[in-house]
Chain A
Amino acid sequence: MSELVLMKNFAHPDSAGIDHYEKTGGYLGLKKALKDFSPDQVIDTVKTSNLRGRGGAGFPTGVKWSFVPKDDDKPHYLCCNADEGEPGTFKDRLLMERDPHQVIEGMIIAAYAIKAPVAYIYIRGEYGLSIEKISQAIKAAHKKGYLGQNILNSGFSHDIYVHIGAGAYICGEETALLESIEGRRAQPKLKPPFPAVAGLYECPTVINNVETFACVSHIFSRGVEWFTSIGPEDAPGPRLFGLSGQLKNPGVYELPMGISLGELVNNYGGGPLKGKFKAVIPGGVSAPMIPLAGLDVKMNFADLAAADSMLGSAAVIALDETASIPAVARRITEFFSHESCGKCAPCREGLPWASKILNRIESGKGLPGDPQQLEFLCGGIFGNSFCALGDGAAWALRATLKHFRHEYDALITQKTIPVCDRTSA
């Protein structure tokens, strides 16, 4: 894509300031939405744009908003999920640090659509600069009349508060995030009821990702037709891809979805650090890795699902030929084991068990039945855990066993020390 949308201000020295944002078309979308659209028309517009959530699941944003009841007497809430924690993902941090107003603007438009007087933006505690920039942006938006009472004489009033997370990956799960704002341990809740019906404080609530809100701003400032002209029909609009791992040019790249994974890591990522790529994780560590032979897969929801993986947060982690798959699998499993909230047994008990086996294999003490035991554990976790954390962990581990069983076998039978192990990475 020749024109940058989400990242267009990133290089400007005052990219986070409201003056620069307004100069480059900022808050035009909000003005249009409040003046020319009813709340229902805003929802219909987002539906027509076919914007799909940028956090992980890719659910259609407008459809999510339309689930909020129209004629109830409860207050409605809006939440922005800025608890970016999926390893490999850093795009939301950049959006908040470098151009926070496009996120704020999108949130105000969404709040108008679902008639929410109050919104919370849940930012992970490690992101000090994001917290600072978003807080400054909220203040600046208040001063200009984009937030507060009777916004731009529309009769709509809205306030946004920052809620700071405290180190729990599980808060990225929307019901866990709501529990956290309510002042409880972040443990996912049973759905239904979905948050749109009974969410924050048991009231109708919409939760969207940072990048999703940024897209909303642009849909209203530039129109649905413009938005749908970018990328494939079932996954339109600009998308931020975060490239990391063993490739030459890590960084964030704004591109339409539908680009092939191979093109992404070779043409944009600059190719492998050493030799050839061995595998690439396409959407954060819970997305099963794709081996070299499969890199022609297109980076959109449907194609990656068909390849038995997912687009997730579009966090692309490349592994070159020096990477040890069992070591990477061990690290991924340890992560999920550490972040398990402890609510359900398959995840809480299964993941530490799998970690133990993976550590054993990596240190050359693996037993002949270990790969089968790992398969068995994955089968017990996948589909049986309370939320997507356990499923993702089992799914990611299974892919390593499926594609790289020979590496496990070599470690177990020949005690071969992987090239990329704990000490000689």
Chain B
Amino acid sequence: MTAKTTRQSIVEDLSEPIAEIVKRYPKRRSAIMPALYLAQEKYGCIDETTYQAISQILDVPEIWVFELASFYTLYNRKEIGKYHLQLCTNVPCMLRGTYDLMEHLQSRLGIKNGETSKDGLFTLTAVECIGSCDVAPAMMINQSYHNNLSKEQLDKILDGLSQAENVL
């Protein structure tokens, strides 16, 4: 969330798309989850100002917004890196060596699980099953899936991302 974002600017940005979403449901409260996604997509993460703006747009209590933002894990309440590495650590991936990959990522990036690299590029998160068990170990980088991972492949992927950043 940038410093320039205010409740009013969010209300201006999101009122129209949220009004579209509200039409799908008989009650406005149902539109809070999709509204939080809209805000996250636009601003990267969500915070109190977002809750206040959504509460104003939907005319619902702010606590209704906050209780969802704080319950569901896909809402980012703090800033995350440009690339969010979400490594699955559940049983099928564990049996295929995902803990080795986690150690490798931690040492390569110099961060621990849950942290963001100093350059703001990478956030590393151990996640629960992402439904890619047939091609384990698996990881999501933002919305895209990477499967059948090995340390070498991880290095290749990260090298590619870092290079792309240097070119920019």
A binds B: yes
Residues of A within 8 A of B (CB): 75, 84-90, 92-93, 124-128, 161, 163-169, 180-186, 201, 242-246, 250-252, 281, 285, 315, 317, 319, 323, 327-328, 331-332, 335, 338-339, 420, 422-425
Chain A residue with minimal CB distance to B71?
A185
Contact B33 A423, beta carbon cutoff 8 Å: no
Please count how many residues in chain B sit with their CB below 8 Å of the partner chain's CB atoms. Answer: 44
Contact A182 B29 (CB under 8 A): yes
**Choice from B34, B36, B68, B130 contacting A185 with Cβ under 8 Å:** B68
Chain B: minimal CB distance from A125 (Å): 5
Question: B128 touching A168 by the CB < 8 A rule?
Answer: no
Q: Specify which of A93, A164, A281, A339 is in contact with B33 (CB 8 Å cutoff).
A: A164
Give Cα A128 to B26, complex, Å.
Answer: 26
State the CA gap A185–B69 with chains docked (Å): 9
Residues on B with C-beta less than 8 A from A335 are: 90-91, 128-129
Question: Is B34 a contact partner of A90 (Cβ separation < 8 A)?
Answer: no
Q: Within 8 Å CB of B129, what residues of A?
A: 85-89, 335
Q: Which of A75, A89, A167 is the one whose CB lies under 8 Å from B74?
A: A167
Cβ-defined contact, B128 with A422, below 8 A: no
Q: Give the interface segment out of B11-19, B94-102, B107-115, B155-163.
A: B94-102
Q: Does B31 contact A (CB under 8 A)?
A: yes
CB-defined contacts of A285 to chain B, threshold 8 Å: 90-91
Identify which of A125, A161, A165, A331 contacts B94 (C-beta below 8 A).
A331
Q: Is the CB of A420 within 8 A of B134?
A: no
Judge whether B95 and A425 touch: CB under 8 Å.
Answer: yes
Question: Of B2-10, B116-124, B135-143, which binds chain A?
Answer: B135-143
Q: B70-101, CB under 8 A of A: which get 1 and which 0?
A: 01111100000000000001111011111110
* Nearest Cβ on chain B to A221's Cβ, whole angstroms: 28
| Most chain B C-beta atoms within 10 Å of own C-beta, residue among A85, A244, A423 | A244
A227, B129: Cα distance in complex, Å: 32
- List the B residue with the shortest CB-CB distance to A247: B95
Given contacts A167-B73, A328-B91, A332-B91, are A244 and B27 in contact (CB under 8 A)?
no
Taking A87-B128, A424-B100 as known contacts, 14 extra A-B pairs with beta carbons closer than 8 A to each other, sorted by chain A number, are: A84-B131, A85-B128, A86-B129, A128-B143, A183-B30, A245-B96, A246-B95, A317-B92, A323-B95, A328-B91, A331-B89, A331-B91, A331-B94, A425-B97
Residue ID in chain B nearest A132 by CB atoms: B143
Nearest-Cβ distance from residue B154 to partner chain A, whole angstroms: 15
Of A87, A88, A181, chain B has the most CB atoms within 10 Å of the CB of A87
B1 within 8 A of A: no
Enumerate chain B residues within 8 angstroms of A85, measured Cβ to Cβ: 128-129, 131
| Contact between chains at B131 and A93 (CB < 8 Å) | yes
**What's the least CB distance linking B18 to chain A, in Å?**
13
Q: Are B90 and A250 in contact (CB under 8 A)?
A: no
Q: Which residue of the partner chain B has the closest CB to A342?
A: B71
Query: Are the CB atoms of A166 and B73 closer together than 8 Å?
Result: yes
Q: A201-B27, A335-B128 are in contact. Are A244 and B133 (CB under 8 A)?
A: yes
Check A169 against B128 for contact (C-beta < 8 Å): yes
A-B residue pairs in contact (CB < 8 Å), sample of 13: A87-B133, A126-B130, A166-B73, A180-B33, A183-B29, A184-B68, A185-B68, A250-B135, A252-B134, A332-B91, A423-B99, A425-B94, A425-B96
CA A243 – CA B135 in complex, angstroms? 10
- Does the CB pair B131–A243 fall under 8 Å? no
Contact B30 A125 (CB under 8 A): no
- CB atoms of A425 and B99 under 8 A apart: yes
Task: Given A423-B99, A425-B99, verify A244-B94 contact (CB < 8 Å).
Answer: no
Q: Which residue of B lies closest to A336 (CB)?
A: B128
B95 touches A166 (CB 8 A): no
Residues of B within 8 A of A90 (CB): 131-134
Look across to chain B and name the residue whose beta carbon is closest to the beta carbon of A201.
B26
Say how far A290's CB is from chain B's closest CB, in angstroms.
Answer: 15
